Amino acid sequence: MSNSPQIFTTIAEITDWRRKARGQIGFVPTMGALHEGHATLLRQIRSRCDTSVLSIFVNPTQFGPKEDLSKYPKTFERDLEIAAREGVDFVFAPSPTEMYPFGYSTFVEETSRSLPLCGKVRPGHFRGVTTIVLKLFNLIRPDLALFGLKDAQQFFVLKKMIQDLNLGIRVEGIPTVREKDGLALSSRNAYLSGEEREKAPQLHQALLRIKENLKTHPSGASFTRSLEQTEKDLNAQGFQVQYLECLEIPELKPLKDGDPIDPTRPLCIALAAYLGKTRLIDNIILNEEHLQV
Ligand code: PAF
C-alpha cells in the first residue's frame, strides 16, 4: 500500500509548495472520475519525474450552458485511492471559486487547431480548456505534462498554446487505453445503460474499418464516400454522429471532399457521437512516427 498523496485545495498552498519544490516535476491534469487511462498517465509520470502532481478539477468554463457540468461524475475518494496506488505525491483539488473568483475575466484562446471537430460543436470549449490548463501550468510549473490521446484535438491545441506562449513545458500524448472490446476508456462511459454499453464499441470498429479503407482506397473521392457511408451506418445503428472526419495533424486541417489523400502522412480520423444522452468521442491516429508537433 503506497502513501496517500498530500492534498492541496488552495492557490496559497500550491504556490508555497512550488516555491520549495526541486527536481523534475511531472503533472497530469484531470477532471477526476479517474479510470485506467488516467492511471496509465500517472504511472508514466511517476516513472519519469522526481515529483508527480495530479490535479482534479471539473472545470466549469469548458462546459457549454446545455452540457453535463452538474452531472459530471464525482468520485473523489476513489480518485485518491487510485492516486495513492500509483504513487502520486501531490493532488491539487481546488474549488471553482478558488480558480475563478468573483469578477474573474481573463481567458486564453488558441484560434486555429481549436476550430474544427469539438471546437465547432462545442463553442467555447477549448477556450475553457486552454484557460484552465494555462492557470494550472502557471501554478505547478511542471517540466513534463501528460495527456491522453483520446482527446487528440485537446492535445494538439494545448501543444500549440505551449509553443505560441513560450511556456517551455514538455507535453506528451499517451495512446488511448481501451476496454477489451475496443471501447475507449472515458469517465462518461459510466452514463451508458447496459444496452448502450454493448453497442458503444461499434465506434472503434467503425474507425478501424475506415483505417483499412484508407489503405485500400486512398483516392480522395472514394475515401470521402466511405466516411459518409460509415456515418450513415452508425446513425442507422442508433448513434447520432456529430462528426466523422479525417484531418491532417498536428494542424488539424480537415481533408476536403475529394482531396487526394497521402496515406503515409500523419492523419487523425476523429469521431463524436451521441449514444442516448451520452456523448462519446474516439479517434485513430495514423503515421504518428512522421508527426512533428
Ligand atoms: O482532459 C481533461 O480532463 C480536461 O479537459 C483537462 C485537460 C483536465 C482540463 O480541464
| Residue 228 alpha carbon to ligand 1 centre in Å | 30
As beta bridge partners, residue 247 has 254, 268
Name which of 217, 235, 227, 282 is nearest 254 in CA terms. Answer: 227
Residue nearest to atom 8 of ligand 1 (CA): 30
Task: Tell whether the model's pLDDT for residue 1 goes beyond 60.
Answer: no
Name which of 112, 127, 124, 108 is nearest 247 in CA terms. Answer: 112
| Nearest atom within ligand 1 for CA of residue 62 | 10
Helices within 165-219 (DSSP H only): 194-199, 202-216
Contact indicator for 88, 49 with CB cutoff of 8 Å: no
Which region among 5-19, 80-94, 212-226, 273-287 has the lowest average model confidence (pLDDT)? 212-226
- 74-113 pLDDT, tens digit per residue, is 999 999 999 999 999 999 999 999 999 999 999 999 999 9
Q: Is residue 29 lining ligand 1, measured as CB closer than 6 Å?
A: yes
How do 239-248 and 253-254 pair as beta strands? antiparallel
SS3 (DSSP) at 109:
coil
pLDDT of residue 292: 67
Give the span between the Cα atoms of 282 and 271, in whole angstroms.
5
What type of residue is 90? F
The CA-atom distances, in angstroms, between 88 and each of 26, 79, 220 are 10, 11, 47
Q: Is residue 250 lining ligand 1, measured as CB closer than 6 Å?
A: no
Q: Enter the C-alpha cell of residue 275.
A: 449514444
pLDDT above 90: percentage of residues in the chain: 86
| Nearest atom within ligand 1 for CA of residue 133 | 9
Contact indicator for 2, 46 with CB cutoff of 8 Å: no
pLDDT of residue 128: 98
Q: Is residue 151 lining ligand 1, measured as CB closer than 6 Å?
A: yes
The mean per-residue pLDDT over the stretch 169-188 comes to 97
pLDDT above 70: percentage of residues in the chain: 97
pLDDT of residue 290: 67
Residue nearest to atom 9 of ligand 1 (CA): 129
Contact indicator for 246, 255 with CB cutoff of 8 Å: yes
Provide the residue count of the chain. Answer: 293
pLDDT of residue 255: 81
Q: Tell me the whole-structure pTM to 2 decimals.
A: 0.96
